[in-house]
Amino acid sequence: MTSRRQTLALFAASALLPWPALAQTPFDHSHAAWDALLKKHVRWLPDGKQSRANYKGFAADRAALKIVLDSLSAVPKATFDSWSKPQQMAFLINAYNAFTVELILTKYPDLKSIKELGSFIQSPWKKKFFTLLGEQRHLDWIEHEQLRPRYAEPRVHAAVNCASIGCPALRDEAFTATRLEAQLEDGMRRFMGDRTRNRVKGDKVEVSSIFKWFREDFEQGHGGFKQVEDVFARYAEQLSDQPAEQAALKAKTLGVSHLDYDWSLNDAGR
């Protein structure tokens, strides 16, 4: 049995430790808390290609969301750097999506688009409103300074969600390192199969403006993509049900045009 003197000695020794050493627990790479919120507040539309977020529900669970955000913010850079690349990617994707929901809630329900959260001189993606890896960050830092350049994975564009109908769907589950490859591919297939955003029409393939804005990401050779048309060839069966159109996509004989992006809020309440 520990004596009173030993107990006091242990307490005194612990008082000398910095508080983070006492409070820090291993990071949950299953992202269970965020996964639970997504399962509760995100639903797929009947076509299985688009989803809607119940921001009213997220608002009611703001305390639970804060716990998720705080756990993300508490990860030191040194710890992040020690993780595997799939762990890092899952962390960054989930952070982007979770902090985007938080950004929407700062004005919800009095907004129709995430763009309303910006200003004439600053986009909403440049607002530094959260801490990640020890510094104040904005959403563009996660996407354009981390995910895109560090991992060279173009399918990430079907994983991060900008709270807009035109954006690839927000999944109803958290990304995890163990399932990352399957989740990225599933997200890309759903996105390419959504005829409101990507489709064949006449002698052209009409695609999301994502393929215009981030064309270079799809031309870096990852996954065999050396030109953006390689993407349309790879996902020909998702883009069209017609064998002749699928053949044209694979032969890369179709012209390419880009559809307008729908920035309307992906709100289940609407």
Residues 6+ apart with CB under 8 A from 29: 87, 90, 91, 176, 177
Residues with Cβ within 8 Å of residue 257, at least 6 apart in sequence = 204, 205, 206, 207
Tell me how far apart the alpha carbons of residues 128 and 237 are, in angstroms, rounded to a whole number: 41
Q: Which pLDDT score, from 0 to 100, does residue 108 have?
A: 97
pLDDT value for 225: 83
144-172 confidence digits (pLDDT tens): 999 999 999 999 999 999 999 999 999 99
Q: Say what the pTM is.
A: 0.90
- Can you say whether residue 75 is alpha, beta or left, with left for phi > 0 and alpha for psi between -120 and 50 degrees? beta
| pLDDT above 80 (res 12) | no
Considering only 1-5, 198-202, 232-236, which range has the smallest mean pLDDT? 1-5
Both tokens assigned to 79: 């710890």
β-strand pairing of 255-258 with 204-207: parallel
Q: Coil, strand, or helix at residue 131?
A: strand
Condensed to tens digits (0 to 9), the pLDDT of residues 41-55 reads: 999 999 999 999 999
By percentage, how much of the chain surpasses pLDDT 90?
86
**pLDDT single digits (tens) 15-29:** 444 444 434 679 999
Question: Lowest mean pLDDT: which of 96-100, 130-134, 222-226?
Answer: 222-226
The domain spans of the chain are: 27-196, 198-256
CB atoms within 10 A of CB 205: 25
